Structure formats: structure tokens, C-alpha cells
A = this chain, B = another copy of it.
Amino acid sequence: MSKRTEKTIVDIAEELNLSVSTVSRALNDHPNISAKTKEKVKKMARKMGYRPNTMAAGLRNNKSKTIGLVVPRISMFFPATISTVIQNKLQEHGYNLLICQSNDSYEQEIALADTLYSARVDALAVSTTLYTTDFSHFDVFIENNIPLVFFDRVPKDYNVKVIKGDDYLGGLTVTKHLIERGCKDIVHISGPLTCNLYIERVAGYKSALQQHKIPFKKSRIFYHELTRENALQTCEKIFAQQPYPDGIFAANDTTAITILEYCRKIKLRVPEDIKIAGYSNDPRTEIITPSITSVDQYPALMGEKVAAALLELLQQSKPVQQKYNEEIIPIKLIARASTEGPVVKVRGKKK
């Protein structure tokens, strides 16, 4: 294991023949220090391997200019887009972003919260795992006045800023769209109900059925982690017996794409025999044939709101007062070939 002899600001001051206070102020971007001196000091600090954390113990109030981000999976289109927007916005204000992925493991999320706390982030943004219902591993941030913002997958009763999509409206809109295109027997494939957004999409699905007087059947709804493997297993179940559904609303696009490929394999025509809709507007939904109807969740807008919320909390000069405060990002149905067909008259309430 590595042995380090940590350098202090005293070493930098000696090396540059400057006073310790000048070095300290240069490193902290004090306005009285010239840009040239700041650059010289920072360059030497880098060269000497100086780490700000090794500052004298008395300096309790040091800022790392680093912000932490925890997302379920960096490879998914939606969190990847949000992460990049957050990073670009924060960078404009001199912050660097440390990204961690929980891989939808609750234990991993706890470990990452600890890791980012120890890495001394100035603020933290989180989209939780599918299974996070206890948020106490983030208490340490609140207790230490470190700004905390949740987005997309969020808590309900926790004193934090929350920025989320309109998942109820999303579920309602997709299901109504399928009904208006003639579907009468719609399967919904949902994520686990430990996660807020799936509860809401399911509620939207049920509301749409009810509004159109289509009976809700428990057997037409499936819950699992929305992976390709799970989608294939669910297809085996759905198409094991007649009658087949005439519409499928999948709560993510990976599932919708997998179902489309499965239907192709068993010679079901999409959209003629069965209509398919996904969620999140992953670019793959546009390039596949037929293209797949999905829901745009405006990830760039969500990323901007998250960055703005973090910056606002960071600018508070007093200890940060975190309280529950919800902001809703709109959604938009993107109708594509996978749900094409004549608009049919449907029973139920007029819009």
C-alpha cells in the first residue's frame, strides 16, 4: 500500500518563497491575491501533491468545490443525460461532479453515501435505487447542513428538495393513447412498487382504464426490475396462452424494445396485432422498426432544475434549511409507429 508524506501549505510557501497566508488565500481564491500568484501557487500545490484536506485542523469550513451524484445506472439514457446536464451547469460555477452508480443495490447506495460524505462533497444529488424506502443513510448530510436534492426516484416524507417527473400523468396519457388507438386489453409492465414513480405510473394506468370503463385485471400487470432478461420472461408468460393482449404499456424502453423483438419472433405484427408503448424516450425507440411510442421526460430540463436547486442551497449563507419541497417536470407523449392505427371512439368520459 502507498506511503505518502503529505505536503502542507507551509511546504508550498517555502518552495515559492511566499508567506503561508498568501498561499492559503491563493488556494482559497481570495480576491486580494493576483490571478498570477494564484496560478503559481496552485501549480506548485499540484506539483507537490498537496491535498486541501490536509489543511490545519482548525480550518473546519473548507469547501471542496465538489458535488456528489448518486444514480442507479450511468448507462441508462435518462440518468446519463441528466448527469451530463448537471455536470455542465455546475462546472459553470466552478464545481466538479463525482458520479456514483448504485446498480439498484440498497446496500451499495448506503456505502456510496458514506464514500461521498468522506470525499467531502459540498452537496449531493440522488436518484435512489428501486428498493430504497428508508433514507436515513442520507441523514448525515442534512445534520451537517450539506445540501441534498433528490430527483426522478425520490422520497415522499423526507426533508429534502425533490424534483420529479409527472409519472401519474405519464401512465394516464400512455394508457389513454392505447385505448384511443383501439386497445381493449392492455398489459402494464411496471417496476417494483417500492419506487415512487412506478406507483404513480400504475395509478395513471388504472385511472385511464377506469375512465374508459375497462375493467382492471390484476393478472394483466407485472412487476419486476425492468431488465431485458425480465422482459423476456414476462413475454413467455404473456404469450403462453390466448387471448393475447392487444396493447402493452411498458414502464421503460428496454422492456418495450425487448417485447417488440419478441413479438416479431412469434410473428405478431406491431402495430396491427398488438400495440406497444415504452417510457423515457430512449433514442433506441426512434431507430428501431417500427419506431416505438414513448414518453419524453425532459431529462435536460430535469438536470437543469437539479443543478439550480443545488446552487441555490449552496448559496445560502446560514445553515441550510432543508424541507420537503416538490417540483414537477412535465411529460410529453411521443406517438410513433408501434401504436399507429385509426383513432377509435371509446367509451367513457370525454377529455
- Chain A interface (Cβ < 8 Å from any Cβ of B): 1-6, 46-47, 49, 51-54, 57, 60-61, 63-66, 73-75, 77, 80-81, 83-84, 87-88, 91, 96-101, 103, 108, 111-112, 114-120, 122, 137, 139-140, 143-147, 257, 261, 283-284, 287-289, 314, 316-317, 319-320
Contact = CB atoms under 8 A, between A and B. Distances in A.
B1 A314 contact: yes
B84 A75 contact: yes
Contacts of A64: 115, 118-119
Contacts of A46: 114, 137, 140
Nearest to A290: B289
A328 to B, nearest CB: 25
Nearest to A102: B87
A283 to B, nearest CB: 7
Contact of A146 (B2, B77, B96, B98): B2
Contacts of A100: 96-99
B51 A6 contact: no
A63 to B, nearest CB: 7
Q: In the complex, which of the residues A111, A257, A261 has the most CB atoms of chain B within 10 Å of its own CB atom?
A: A111
Contacts of A115: 64-66, 96, 98
A42 to B, nearest CB: 8
Given A3-B60, A47-B140, 5 more contacts: A2-B145, A3-B61, A53-B53, A74-B75, A83-B101
A123 to B, nearest CB: 9
A60 B287 contact: no
Contacts of A77: 75
A112 B1 CA distance: 23
A101 B84 contact: yes
